[in-house]
A and B are shown apart, each in its own frame.
Chain A
């Protein structure tokens, strides 16, 4: 009850209480929610308050479930602040004597109190093998998905690749080719577009959903029949940050198996179903069967379109600060570092309306930093000054 009472008051004060523990020492301070800054600044702040300027630290915090989670980039730093209710409890360790096993997310099964957690942290035996560190599912961004399983023929697969500004290349090549289809007139050859090569380590390869010799049927809802290779290339590149390709996999053994009524697409289709004549009938009785779906599909894309639209970056010129409406931000800017460019996210930012794609900005352990602040800031829809 006490806590519940305090939360709103803190919110209004716009401050976050921080209790930081390094070894046996505690430090308490507070942070302004509106001026969080970046992780490295925060890191410097921690070193400063603990007076350990040259010690490499591993920063962890206890989340609402009592898990010890790491803070090592802007994303999870901001996440930790947003999770602080109202107190943010930090645990600092020296990097060289860190115990990675302390980090974990299995609190759902094994309730741990923060005290127990701390005890684990301080456990001296460090010769245990560090296990792989995994965050909560919601902390990951989606990389790819199979969509529209319910409306597509079983022989087809619609793959959504989420580029989201990450550094990984999309990484595949396409070529012209011809495919044999069953038509009322019998077997006929049609020109088609095929995946010709995968770049090792690329996004396309890492998803495992696309393979060499898969025939490309649609790009973001638009059929590629009748289009030239260069046109299809340009379409894919234009949609590259949010690419949805419908393919007919060359290997039809891993198709999604559907029961008559459950259309939610369990993606574990590993049955040995081969592409017999009945399946090819689905897909290739030519335009007709494809034409049945569009209304659905287009709707989907329109949704995606709104989500997907990465906003252009606008940098306003130096000096003239009076233009920008967000008052507090401007004040901070003009007082502290007037010459630095300010990132002003413009346009009607879509609030993340529960769609998967937008919730993706929280990084996991290995998330990037540096060059993406602009983007991330935009997605958060806040104005950040440095």
Chain B
């Protein structure tokens, strides 16, 4: 066979492929799943988030993003930036420490792990001795202090992770100096907190879980002062003057201590329990920050009264007379405060809170402390994503109108600019304006600016207003009644609770040229909306369409239709619904298509499909595709939920009954019952293990369930009935491998309101392999896919070639088949499943071009159930390239995939994150950014308290000097002149390769 292959030709083809196709996963949009740690570098202005799966993500100014992944599959528990450097340390759940750095490579920074380290205790010591609980990255940038569960503090030199054993602070060293009556025989327990004196880097405050705090002199290796707290310690915090300490405790109190340098302080200066008298939950973290004029800010998390508000996730902010308890909808991970000024020690400007499901930034300088909208890390999943739709190259006019409509919705946000601005975004401006629309469970559609690296929220559309729902919209809005204590204020937008699952959005189709949008939902509702710049009060006319067409013997067991509001509803500027179709039975809408030029919408469910004229607001045609013997299709999605409810009820009854009988018997049956339960469970388990996973091999038949489910709908202007005149047509593909074609007669523009739109059945194709039809495309005389409606009218696509014969491409889950038109006969086909056992899950048409050539080629992009991404040539339907993209086990990821028109795509890697990928060499959206070491802070190089012997207080003075100087330009000059040794400079400049390499080897 080989000798027939023409090598020259092949290599040319290969080169062409390489020019056009290149697979990259470029950027992750959204909010990291299960965040577990937060870090911030004021000098770099970079935010770091670690997750439970071991990922680490850095964010700076919008567009500056880095992502890293630990090799260990362990949760990141802490992230600490080395002060004034580009390195940071992560602590993982498995007690390992990892050093990361940002290294510039050909002008773009990259995140690298440069070393890892695990504390090793003396042989025979229990693991708790070295189990790290607290980490302090010393301001010298050369030391890491590690507090452990055993109460020891280990000192490690970084970035090489060299243990400095002689500097370790053993628990015995501390305990021996503490008054006997305080310690008694009890253990000090683990090191809960390590904090450096902000003014004297030699002094470190060690807080033990039992409540003891010790101020330790690193240089002299002895305690300076002890604070004998009596409550379990949660956190400590230095005040900026370096002379006062705040400690927070597990009983919901905080204490104020003063550093006097004298003997043990047994009583705090002040003790307070902010939420009072009744038992409270712990205050897990506390910060006090002074302001130039006026009272300080006190910010702490937790401390709520246990009984009444123990389940709230709150951060309290107290400033002067203002006191607010910011009430979050998910668990608080961590928070920090950004301060103004070059040295980041001015007035606090923003509070950044990482909660489990979102990042919230509160503007502390504007009255009312409004929230600043985040340009990234947006919670995509504030209501669960049910579908997505991507529209490429949006015309500027529509873009601006959507932007304006969105701006009107965001008036409650702070006007302050985004406060985290580290790094430079070097990425080119996005080549076009792209919109990603996500449909959500609560009936909203969110519009995201998906042009660049940051997925930015533009506009939110809610469809719930059209219907009567159980929930009163005012229910959860104004809960903050006057005089409530604690003074709660809801913040954040994560709200996963849907009032009515029927509102869920299933399909979206937007016409980018004239702003018509159609969305379809779970209860068979199809809304047609139009973009309007003014608010309008209008009725939404509902049309009920019977898809069963009087077929008898069916009883719908699913959900009921949504209740439409009969009165006019006020719709804010933006997309406003004007027509509504409700399918009967109200099953999930499975396919939808909009043709804005013909003003037609088509929709399909598991029972059939219909064609609706939204100009005349009437239904034109209905086709029932239901197989008469298919009773499964009459089970609604909610009937299953019902049955769960039922079984729950039954099991509760069973429990109750068993309890009653227990009481009757009065003997101790509980143990017996438990035993029986355990045995039953074991049996069930065994049974599960014994039954092997097996798959039935059976040809598909017309009697299978859900063969009538409409999978895809497509409008095309093509040659359906004769080869000389093209006509508008509608194509529908079903789960049972059938394709239906209808010829549509659309009246002329002048008569569009009066004359009826007509649709006649023209063709029916039954694929013999009966696999579900997932895609339909008509190719023009040149083999290119037909353009979108209005695309040609707007001069954005060349008009389709109407000479030469058109072809219909039918994509089933198993095969790609090309048929001639108008006489349907098979021309060529590509078998997928029969050859490699994978099936088509997602398919789309995309345009590819090389970097140099203007010419574009169309191909099919396809994702299989094995998670492989394929490009398939048109019109020859040959496999071009393929790349593994998504894990095959990640079914929801594969199902969520959407393709753009230019070879990119998105899929969900978690409920809250989209991964963006690109198959195109020409269109790649990926972060390109540079982060440079903060050079201005080199001055404090001689500050390591351990290596350098220098007079007391010098470094403090030095720092003070630094703070008072204005502008770091001057400072830098002074530094340069002072700089005696150029080496430390090099050490921190990460562009110098040899040094970095050295660091790497040290790390091991």
* Most B C-beta atoms less than 10 A away, residue of A175, A227, A315, A348: A315
A341 to B765, CA, bound (A): 12
Q: In chain B, residues 779-836, which have Cβ atoms closer than 8 Å to a Cβ of chain A?
A: 814-815, 817, 822-826, 831, 833-836
Does B255 touch A at the CB level, under 8 Å?
no
A221 shortest CB reach to chain B, Å: 9
Q: In chain A, residues 289-338, which have Cβ atoms closer than 8 Å to a Cβ of chain B?
A: 295, 310-320, 322-324
**Contact, CB under 8 Å: A311 / B768:** yes
B772 shortest CB reach to chain A, Å: 12
What are the residues of chain B within 8 A of A240 when measuring CB–CB? Answer: 697-700
**Contact, CB under 8 Å: B837 / A234:** yes
Q: Number of A interface residues, CB 8 Å?
A: 50
A338 shortest CB reach to chain B, Å: 14
A315 to B823, CA, bound (A): 11
A174 to B697, CA, bound (A): 7
Q: Which residue of A lies closest to B743 (CB)?
A: A317
Given the contacts A312-B766, A317-B761, A346 and B837 also touching, CB distance less than 8 Å:
no
**Contact, CB under 8 Å: A323 / B822:** yes
Q: In chain A, residues 46-64, which have Cβ atoms closer than 8 Å to a Cβ of chain B?
A: none
**Contact, CB under 8 Å: B822 / A238:** no
**Contact, CB under 8 Å: A233 / B814:** no
**Contact, CB under 8 Å: A312 / B694:** no
Given the contacts A312-B826, A315-B763, A176 and B693 also touching, CB distance less than 8 Å:
yes
A204 shortest CB reach to chain B, Å: 8
What are the residues of chain A within 8 A of B769 when measuring CB–CB? Answer: 238, 241, 310
Given the contacts A241-B768, A317-B721, A317-B760, A347 and B693 also touching, CB distance less than 8 Å:
no
- Indicate with 1 or 0, residue by residue over A32-49, a CB within 8 angstroms of chain B CB atoms: 000000000000000000
Does B313 touch A at the CB level, under 8 Å?
no
Stretch in contact with the other chain, from A68-76, A139-147, A163-171, A254-262: A163-171
**Contact, CB under 8 Å: A312 / B692:** no
A230 to B817, CA, bound (A): 23
A310 to B770, CA, bound (A): 11
Does B845 touch A at the CB level, under 8 Å?
no
- Indicate with 1 or 0, residue by residue over A176-198, a CB within 8 angstroms of chain B CB atoms: 11000000000000000000110
B864 shortest CB reach to chain A, Å: 10
Does A228 touch B at the CB level, under 8 Å?
yes
What are the residues of chain B within 8 A of A238 when measuring CB–CB? Answer: 769, 771, 814-815, 831, 833-834, 837
Candidates B764, B831, B833, B865; contact of A314 at CB < 8 Å? B764
A162 to B348, CA, bound (A): 79
**Contact, CB under 8 Å: A312 / B767:** yes
Q: In chain B, residues 95-142, which have Cβ atoms closer than 8 Å to a Cβ of chain A?
A: none
Does A229 touch B at the CB level, under 8 Å?
yes
Q: Which residue of B lies closest to A163 (CB)?
A: B699
A171 to B699, CA, bound (A): 9
Q: In chain A, residues 211-265, which have Cβ atoms closer than 8 Å to a Cβ of chain B?
A: 220, 222, 227-241, 243
**Contact, CB under 8 Å: A222 / B836:** yes
**Contact, CB under 8 Å: A229 / B695:** yes
Does A173 touch B at the CB level, under 8 Å?
yes
B229 shortest CB reach to chain A, Å: 59
What are the residues of chain A within 8 A of B764 when measuring CB–CB? Answer: 314-315, 317, 341
B883 shortest CB reach to chain A, Å: 18
Candidates B695, B741, B760, B817; contact of A233 at CB < 8 Å? B695
Does A22 touch B at the CB level, under 8 Å?
no
**Contact, CB under 8 Å: B837 / A227:** yes
Q: Which residue of B lies closest to A231 (CB)?
A: B837
What are the residues of chain B within 8 A of A315 when measuring CB–CB? Answer: 763-766
**Contact, CB under 8 Å: A320 / B766:** no
Given the contacts A163-B699, A196-B694, A312-B766, A232 and B837 also touching, CB distance less than 8 Å:
yes
Given the contacts A163-B699, A238-B834, A241-B699, A346 and B826 also touching, CB distance less than 8 Å:
yes
**Contact, CB under 8 Å: A235 / B761:** no
B268 shortest CB reach to chain A, Å: 64
Does B424 touch A at the CB level, under 8 Å?
no
A235 to B699, CA, bound (A): 11
- Indicate with 1 or 0, residue by residue over B855-878, a CB within 8 angstroms of chain A CB atoms: 000000000011000000000000
A176 to B691, CA, bound (A): 12
What are the residues of chain B within 8 A of A233 when measuring CB–CB? Answer: 695-697, 837
A150 shortest CB reach to chain B, Å: 21
A328 to B693, CA, bound (A): 56
**Contact, CB under 8 Å: B763 / A231:** no
A382 to B833, CA, bound (A): 31
**Contact, CB under 8 Å: B825 / A347:** yes
A361 shortest CB reach to chain B, Å: 15
**Contact, CB under 8 Å: B697 / A196:** no
**Contact, CB under 8 Å: A231 / B814:** no
A109 to B817, CA, bound (A): 52
Candidates A173, A314, A347; contact of B697 at CB < 8 Å? A173
* Most A C-beta atoms less than 10 A away, residue of B765, B766, B769: B769
What are the residues of chain A within 8 A of B698 when measuring CB–CB? Answer: 169-171, 237, 240
A34 to B291, CA, bound (A): 101
**Contact, CB under 8 Å: A170 / B697:** yes
Given the contacts A173-B695, A173-B697, A241-B699, A312 and B765 also touching, CB distance less than 8 Å:
yes
Given the contacts A234-B833, A235-B834, A323-B722, A313 and B766 also touching, CB distance less than 8 Å:
yes
What are the residues of chain B within 8 A of A173 when measuring CB–CB? Answer: 694-697
Given the contacts A234-B839, A238-B834, A316-B763, A347 and B694 also touching, CB distance less than 8 Å:
no
Does A172 touch B at the CB level, under 8 Å?
yes
Given the contacts A234-B833, A323-B722, A318 and B761 also touching, CB distance less than 8 Å:
yes
What are the residues of chain B within 8 A of A322 when measuring CB–CB? Answer: 722
Given the contacts A229-B695, A320-B721, A347-B825, A235 and B833 also touching, CB distance less than 8 Å:
yes
Candidates B722, B765, B822; contact of A313 at CB < 8 Å? B765
What are the residues of chain A within 8 A of B721 when measuring CB–CB? Answer: 317, 320, 323
B770 shortest CB reach to chain A, Å: 9
**Contact, CB under 8 Å: A313 / B768:** yes
Does B682 touch A at the CB level, under 8 Å?
no
B289 shortest CB reach to chain A, Å: 57
Q: Which residue of B lies closest to A169 (CB)?
A: B698
**Contact, CB under 8 Å: A220 / B834:** yes
Candidates A222, A319, A320, A346; contact of B824 at CB < 8 Å? A346
A250 shortest CB reach to chain B, Å: 15
Q: Which residue of A lies closest to B823 (CB)?
A: A323
* Most A C-beta atoms less than 10 A away, residue of B692, B741, B761, B815: B692
- Indicate with 1 or 0, residue by residue over A147-164, a CB within 8 angstroms of chain B CB atoms: 000000000000000010
Q: List 10 A-B contacts (CB under 8 A).
A: A196-B692, A228-B837, A233-B697, A237-B698, A238-B771, A238-B837, A240-B700, A241-B699, A243-B697, A312-B768
Q: Which 8 A-B pairs have the closest CB atoms?
A: A231-B837, A240-B699, A346-B825, A238-B833, A310-B768, A233-B695, A238-B834, A235-B837
